[in-house]
Chain A
Amino acid sequence: MLGVPFRPAVATGGGPLQRRVAQSAVARYGVAVVSVAVMVVLGLLLRPIVLAAGQLLLLAVLVTGWISGLRPALLAWGLATAAFAYHFTLPLDSVKVDPDQVPRLMIFALVAGFMATMSAARRRAEDLLRSARDELEARVRERTTELGESERRYRHIFDSTGVSIWEEDLSRVKQALDHLQARGVHDVGDYLAGHPEFVEHVIALVKIVDVNDASVALFEAGSKEELVVSLLRIFVPETRAAFRKAMTSLAEGRPFFQGESVVQTLKGQRLTVLFTVTFPRPPASFESVLVTVTDITDRKRAEYLTGHVFETSPDAVYIVGRDYRYQRVNAAFERRWRLPAQRIVGMRVDELAGTEPFEATYKPHLDRCFAGEEASFVGWFPTPAGRQYLAATYSPLRPDSQRVEAALAITRDLTDHARAAEALQQAQAELAHMTRVTTLGEMTASIAHEVNQPLAAIVADANASLNWLASATPDLDRVREALAAIVKDGHRAANVIQRIRQLVTRTAPQKARLDVNDVIRDVVPLIATEVRSHEVSLRLDLAVAVPPVVADRVQLQQVLINLVMNGMEAMTSIADRPRELVIRSRPHEGGQVLLAVEDAGVGIDPSSVSRLFTAFFTTKRDGMGMGLSISRSIIEAHGGRLWATSNARHGATFQFALPALR
């Protein structure tokens, strides 16, 4: 990479003596004094042998100039010249100088002065050089630190970024492509498409210099070394198309290439990736080209799924803008309205769905959705395919901002379900009717008795009245009394017949506001005889104030008759205790009304408790096993619940709870 070698800083400056001396003026001038003194002593020792030993003083000047610079050198020059004049010119050891010695002294002074300036100049030059070198070294150090920092930052980005980065040497690739163009190939893309073997050759020319940690992780490699071997390890056939495009961009001198492709990990996992290549500008080197690889597999999958769900959903999915115009619709929506999407997009909802449904239903719900709420509705709506029962949900769409820009609508065609539900309801009503008729059939003897009793009384009273009227002195008071009784008994018989007719007449269930106590009182006359014949004592335990319910009167009567008949039959074999049947009404928890039938019979067999309410389950010899099953479905169709519990001592309680009208 950028590997600028780092040279560690070394200690700079002259010799240790010079550096020490340079620090103090006293030392610098001391050098002059000491060196002159030393040379004087040395010269004096040698003087008996040779008078020229005085010239050793030149050395003192030279040394001082070299060590301490110009001014101490001038001092040394003065001292040396004085010492030379005193000790080494005739007469010796005298301040006097022979006239013939003056030239010698002058030559000495001149030479010493020259040496002082030369030595000092050399010293200064050395100093300048040294400081220049020091400065250079400092700069190099600084630059090296900067480069190191830059390199470190780059490394950090390279290694710690989540994006896979590949450093590739494309110089040989560039050469090969240049060569190709030099041979006269103008359309490199075309050429590459037609020469797969050349593409393979170019792939082999790519040298992977380095990859980052994110690449190792993305491509499921154990280490960088595993990954840098060859591009072929991550290429699948589809990758070559993108590679050809990238190479074409390179050959055409584009600065940048970006493309999507499929690659594989070292473990063979296919990835959809977005990769970018930034090419150096010629004549820059192609030795270090960075390629980034971003894994967009999940995004592509999500995009695919979203698009796929949108287009293939059996539900009509569409988007409506705040202007109530369709922005996008799917295939199911096209089918529903028998129009192509191009025609629908841009239309207002009322233009397609009709003004009346728009104003009554679509618009209010769209407005709620635009206000930020989710809105749902169901209903019958006209479509070109006829009336359809549609269930719709509008969800607010806020693509960028908090403001709802559009509504996403999903509508499901529930026409078939609605028709099936209607048919089911009808079938249930018919079944309920059938079982009502069956129950009444089982009660025929009791009902006949119930009608017969008042009729018998009427006949007897009428005969008695005729007898009285035939006497010589008719007792008209008695006759009047008997006639009043006839009227009363006539009503009583008519009443029973009317109630039976209600139960037998086949009418669609009609829900109305009801008092359950009235329902109980309606049923009592119908079951009175049955109660007597089963030698059962019936007790009504009715709450004074029960909230009203909304229910079908006949169906509730049917359920109650079923429960009463069951309760009485459960007591048929009971001889050791009173056969008491209690019908109870109570306000119930959760705003409900409870109606319970409590018997003192044999109770519920634990083994059959789970099957009690299933159709065709019966413990009776001649029972159909429909009563409790029908009863439960009737109660559930009213939004209520029917269940049975065992009593603490004897028998069982069958009860149902219905939502009270608020």
Chain B
Amino acid sequence: MPLPAWMMPLTEDRQRPMAKRDGRVVCIVDDDASLRRSLRNLLMSLGFRVETFASAEAFLESVHPDGVGCMVLDVRMAGMSGVDLLRHLAATGSPVPAIMLTAHTDDETRRRSLEAGAVAFLEKPVRSDALLAAVRTALSSA
């Protein structure tokens, strides 16, 4: 049985080495270790520089937002949520373009995320091409 389309690798991008891409860092903030690690693998395989954080608080403590190209954020996390982080960054004058990940989409969360400045809202498991497109959009909007 063939794999569904969203599980197929992104052949057109595969050839592009990481160095040729945007030099800025993609930050992944997710409290699930497996997801953190696998998203890092995926983005690295697509040639991005990646840093991972287990919580919004950990991100705020260790990174200055100005050096961040974009963020891949889990909506629901223990402690500060993804939306809260987004709002916090906007409120402190350092908005970062963000791609929101969620297990299930509900319109309310999507609306609140987009209001807070999210550039994309993706459902898990995330499609490789959709993530690549979203990251590109985010980086270009930065």
Contacts and interface: CB of A to CB of B under 8 A. Distances in A.
B112 interface: no
Contacts of A617: none
Contacts of A420: none
B126 interface: yes
B11 A482 contact: no
B125 A452 contact: yes
B125 A460 contact: yes
A535 interface: yes
B103 A453 contact: yes
A165 B47 CA distance: 125
Interface in A436-458: 445, 448-449, 452-458
A492 interface: yes
Nearest to A461: B38
A326 B46 CA distance: 93
Interface in B81-122: 101, 103-104
Contacts of A532: 31, 76-78
A466 B44 CA distance: 12
B124 interface: yes
A485 to B, nearest CB: 6
B78 A537 contact: yes
Contacts of B46: 467
Nearest to B106: A445
Given A449-B104, A468-B45, A535 B7 contact: no
Contact of A460 (B10, B15, B42): B42
B37 interface: yes
Interface residues of A, number: 32
Contacts of A453: 32, 34-35, 103, 124
A478 interface: yes
Among B13, B34, B126, the one with the most A-chain Cβ atoms within 10 Å of its Cβ is B34
Contact of B14 (A455, A460, A467): A467
Contacts of A533: 76
B128 interface: yes
A537 B13 CA distance: 41
Contact of A449 (B9, B13, B41, B103): B103
A463 B11 CA distance: 10
A462 interface: yes
A568 to B, nearest CB: 13
Nearest to B81: A535
Interface in B29-70: 31-32, 34-35, 37-39, 41-42, 44-46
A464 interface: yes
A537 B78 CA distance: 8
Interface string B1-36: 000001101110111000000000000000110110
Given A448-B104, A453-B124, A462-B7, A478 B34 contact: no
Contacts of A169: none
B9 A470 contact: yes
A463 B35 contact: no
Given A453-B32, A458-B125, A482 B103 contact: no
B63 to A, nearest CB: 22
B76 A452 contact: no
B42 A461 contact: yes
A471 interface: yes
Contacts of B124: 452-453, 455-456
By secondary structure, the A interface counts as helix
A467 B42 contact: yes
Contacts of B15: 470
B103 A535 contact: no
A535 B45 CA distance: 33
Nearest to B35: A457
Contact of A459 (B10, B44, B126): B126
A213 interface: no
Contacts of A462: 7
B78 A463 contact: no
Interface in A477-521: 478, 482, 485, 488-489, 492
Contacts of B39: 457, 460
Contacts of B104: 445, 448-449, 452
Contacts of B45: 463-468
Among A461, A462, A463, the one with the most B-chain Cβ atoms within 10 Å of its Cβ is A463
Nearest to A460: B38
A462 B9 CA distance: 8
A610 B84 CA distance: 41
Given A463-B42, A467-B14, A457 B9 contact: no
Contacts of A457: 32, 34-35, 37-39, 125
Nearest to B46: A467
Contacts of A489: 34, 38
A458 B38 contact: yes
Contacts of B128: 459-460, 463
Contacts of A468: 45
Nearest to B30: A453
Interface of A: 445, 448-449, 452-468, 470-471, 478, 482, 485, 488-489, 492, 532-533, 535, 537
27 contacts: A445-B103, A448-B103, A452-B125, A453-B32, A453-B35, A453-B103, A456-B38, A457-B35, A459-B125, A460-B42, A460-B128, A461-B37, A461-B38, A461-B42, A463-B10, A463-B42, A464-B42, A467-B9, A467-B13, A467-B46, A468-B45, A470-B11, A470-B15, A471-B14, A482-B41, A489-B38, A532-B77
Given A459-B7, A461-B41, A478-B41, 11 more contacts: A456-B124, A458-B125, A460-B128, A463-B10, A464-B41, A466-B45, A467-B46, A470-B11, A485-B34, A485-B38, A492-B34
The 10 closest A-B pairs by CB, nearest first: A467-B45, A456-B125, A466-B9, A464-B41, A460-B38, A456-B124, A457-B38, A464-B45, A449-B103, A457-B34
